[in-house]
Structure formats: C-alpha cells, structure tokens
Amino acid sequence: MKWFQKKDPPTVAEVPPQASQAPATPATGTRIRYTLAIASGKGGVGKSTTAANLAFAFAAQGAKVGLCDVDVYGPSMALMTQTPTPTEMEGALIVPPEVRGVKIISPALFASTNKANILRGPMAGNLAKQLLTQVAWGELDFLFIDCPPGTGDIQLSLAQNISLDAAILVTSPQQVALLDVRKALEMFRTLQVPVLGLIETMSYFLCGTCETRHPLFGKDGGKNFAAEHKLPFLGAIPLSEALTQSGDRGVPLVVADPTHAGSQAYFEARDAILEALKQGKGLPPKGLGSFHLKWDPMPEVQP
C-alpha cells in the first residue's frame, strides 16, 4: 500500500492492529482495523471539516476508509462530501454510499434537509449506535467517527457499545475553545478511551499575497495544550477561504486541491496519526462496560 511520502512516514502495515475490531458483525464480513473518534467538546472549531479531510487524505493513498457522522442534531457530512442517499441493503444492513473511495453514512441522508432532529439524549445515543452497527461497512483500515460537540449520551454510547480504539481531539487556538476541549479530554480518559493526539484548526491565516502567518485567534494554544497534557500535537491547519469553500461545494480540500497549504497540513496530520498509532505498539484496553458515579455527601448546614 502506497502512502504519502514525507520524512518516511509509517505505513498501515507498520501500524499494529487492535485486538478488538468493532463494530463487528461476522455474518456480514464487517472488519474494522481502527475506529477513531474525531471530537472536540466545542462546536465551530472545524471538527467535521477535519474528519472529512482526514478520511479522504487516508483514502487517497490506498487505505480502506469509512466515515460516520454521528452528530445527529446538526449533521453536515452529507453536504460536505456530496454523499447520495443509500439505495441498497445487505440483508438487514444498509450499504453505505461510497464517495471517492470513502464509505459514508450520516443521519442527514435519512431526513429532510430542513427538519430538526428533536431527540432526548438516550434516543440520540441509540441513533448514533444504529448508524455504526446497522451498516455493512465491510473491511476497513480506518473508520472515522465525526462526533457532535459536548460530552453527552452520544459519546458515552460510543465508548460503551462501539469500543473506540482512540479519539483525536480538534481545537482552535483560543482559550474559550480549549476550555471545552479540556472537558472532552477528561471525558475520554474517564471512559478509558485513549486520546491519540490533538489537531489545531484555524492556526493561522495566509492572505495569499505574502508568506507571513497571521495568528488571528491566538498563537500556539493547541500546541501548548498538547504539551501540558502530554498529548502528541498532530498538526496545525491554516484558516483559508479555499478550505471553507471546499466544504460548501462538497469536495474536501485534499481532493479539490492537494497542493494547497491546507491540504498539505492535513497530509502531515495523517502522517502524524500513523506515527502515533505505530508508537502506540498496540493501544491500551479501551471502552467501558459500565461505570459508577461517586457522590460525596453535602456538608450539613449549621443553623
């Protein structure tokens, strides 16, 4: 399998497979090497853009890739990738549409564009589980899961029922974003899901007429956060008009313009992810079957 060559990045063959390959349905031949959650805890930091570009960056070099959008309240992956509505079934499972080599599923493919998904937390968690387990994914090297913002039922359902191999955190540089990313990090650690590293989006702006990097939202916020929490810093993604327009047009930037600075940044992030997986030498056990909350008694109020 040929991979993007820069400073001899590791190949998929060099990355140790996981002992548990979930979701797994032996009767339908589903077999997934790595299930990776793309999460932030914060909305509006470019998480879905990152999930889409990473998926297509891996697929462009020969990996078998799936992309599952579990943001049931605000799904955007169908628009960002021009994914058609599924039309085939394999037994009781949905055959996911394939776009440029990436198998994609999103709740937006099953609902009216303008219809709101009004769901209580447990219902949202169950829907996310269905999107992952009732789909004929086949054999994949990587399944990327585009998570919603927050630290609620959907993330808990993924950790308990899907057995995530790892999470990749996405943040923008400013402290207001890092505040929520810190909560997401602690959530995954509580749920015993390894965090593979952190990607910083909107790191700098290239105006197109100079080579100067303009840090519009602060400088090195994500890099410093990663160092503080002993996480690999997986990459810094620039803010650019081309990147935002590619999402609106439904063609990820790594496909529309592989030579663009934003695409190169995602290629470098891909290599860093592969290196992190390789260095993991078999990630530690992950996922919870159950957990218990401990409530400390309230102090007595003296009259």
The residue that leads in pLDDT, 83 or 127, is 83
Q: Which value, to the nearest 10 degrees, does the dihedral of the CA atoms of residues 203, 223, 44, 217 take?
A: -50
Q: Please identify, in words, the CATH class of the domain defined by 29-280.
A: alpha beta
- The whole-number pLDDT of residue 210 equals 73
Closest CA to 191 of 161, 226, 171: 161
Residues above pLDDT 90, as percent of the chain: 47
Q: Residue type for 68, please?
A: C
Q: How far, in Å, CA of 214 to CA of 45, rounded?
A: 18
CA distances 97 to 6, 40, 136, 250, Å, are: 31, 26, 10, 15
CA 112 to chain centre: 24
Domain range annotation of the chain: 29-280
Lowest mean pLDDT among 105-119, 122-136, 199-213, 240-254: 105-119
pTM of structure: 0.82
Q: Residue type for 90, please?
A: E
Reported as a pLDDT band with limits 50, 70 and 90, residue 24 is very low
Reported as a pLDDT band with limits 50, 70 and 90, residue 302 is low
- The whole-number pLDDT of residue 44 equals 84
The pLDDT tens digits for 84-134 are 999 999 998 999 999 999 999 998 887 655 555 555 556 666 677 788 888
Ordered DSSP codes for 117-130: ----HHHHHHHHHH
Q: How far, in Å, CA of 59 to CA of 55, rounded?
A: 6
CA 15 to chain centre: 19
Helix (H) or strand (E) holding 52: helix 47-59
Reported as a pLDDT band with limits 50, 70 and 90, residue 22 is very low
- Residue position matching structure tokens 């992810």: 273
Q: How far, in Å, CA of 67 to CA of 96, rounded?
A: 10
Q: How far, in Å, CA of 177 to CA of 9, rounded?
A: 30
Reported as a pLDDT band with limits 50, 70 and 90, residue 290 is very low
- The whole-number pLDDT of residue 289 equals 43
